[in-house]
């Protein structure tokens, strides 16, 4: 029998590591992982992200709506919080307020860890696939392996950059690790218009 598999995708890790700047942003996650793991019984794909501010928000919302048409995909939203930081540029001669606000993504790592462990405790899967390069997930994977030694964890690191893709700590925590294969991305794109299930269409952003 094929392994019962659940996939956990860090959306921003996937975006910045694999699809940013390319022509494959309109990614059908269900199709992609069926190509990546053809022998697994993929029960669910959890996609973790947060809504951005600014002009790209509409593009992101269109993509999340497209993902919402896929029966196996579950979108889990975190949030952005404003963080006060001080300008650290030593060459800056500005004498006024050197503090400014930047958005910081919150909850994604915690959400992934919670879902990962909760699914294991409920015995929903035999195999967990984590798509991320973030070492903050190491404790959750370590606890899962301690509590459920027979369950397997595979990490796929999305990265075009060898230094970013090293992710030594995260790779070491899993049973197996791979760099996410980018050659599958063009084979797993949504059509330009996706039926929304209620008589309308979700259109691929023009900039994508």
pLDDT, tens digit (0-9, with 9 covering 90-100), for 34-84: 999 999 999 999 999 999 988 899 999 999 999 999 999 999 998 544 545
107: left (phi over 0), alpha (psi -120 to 50) or beta: left
Q: Are 180 and 167 in contact (CB under 8 A)?
A: no
Task: Determine the average pLDDT of the residues in 121-148.
Answer: 97
Question: Around Cβ 106, how many Cβ atoms within 10 Å?
Answer: 14
- Show the CA angle centred on residue 61, arms to residues 18 and 5, nearest 5°: 55
**Per-domain boundaries in the chain:** 4-79+106-203
pTM for this model (two decimals): 0.87
78: helix, strand or coil: coil
Q: Is the pLDDT of residue 103 over 50?
A: no
What local confidence, expressed as pLDDT, does residue 100 receive?
A: 52
pLDDT reading at 105 higher than 80 = no
* pLDDT band at 97; cut points 50, 70, 90: low
C-alpha span between 36 and 179 (Å, rounded): 12
**In CATH, 4-79+106-203 is 3.40.50.1010:** yes
Average pLDDT, the chain: 91
The whole-angstrom separation of Cα 89 and Cα 74 is 41
């Amino acid at each position: 029998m094929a392994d019962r598999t659940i996939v956990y995708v860090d959306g921003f890790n996937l975006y910045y590591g694999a699809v940013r700047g390319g022509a494959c942003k309109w990614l059908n996650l269900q199709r992609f992982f069926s190509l990546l793991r053809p022998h697994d019984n993929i029960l669910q794909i959890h996609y973790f992200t947060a809504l951005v501010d600014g002009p790209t928000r509409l593009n992101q919302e269109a993509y999340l709506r497209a993902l919402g048409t896929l029966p196996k995909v579950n979108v889990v939203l975190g949030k952005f919080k404003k963080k006060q930081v001080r300008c650290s540029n030593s060459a800056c001669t500005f004498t006024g307020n050197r503090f400014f606000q930047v958005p910081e993504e919150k909850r994604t790592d915690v959400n992934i860890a919670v879902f990962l462990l909760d699914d294991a405790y409920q015995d929903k899967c035999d195999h967990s696939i984590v798509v991320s390069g973030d070492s903050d997930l190491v404790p959750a994977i370590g606890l899962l392996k301690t509590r459920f030694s027979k369950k397997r964890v595979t990490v796929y690191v999305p990265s075009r950059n060898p230094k970013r893709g090293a992710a030594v700590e995260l790779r070491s925590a899993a049973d197996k690790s791979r760099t996410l294969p980018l050659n599958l991305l063009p084979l797993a794109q949504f059509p330009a218009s996706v039926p929304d299930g209620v008589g309308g269409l979700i259109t691929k952003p023009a900039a994508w």
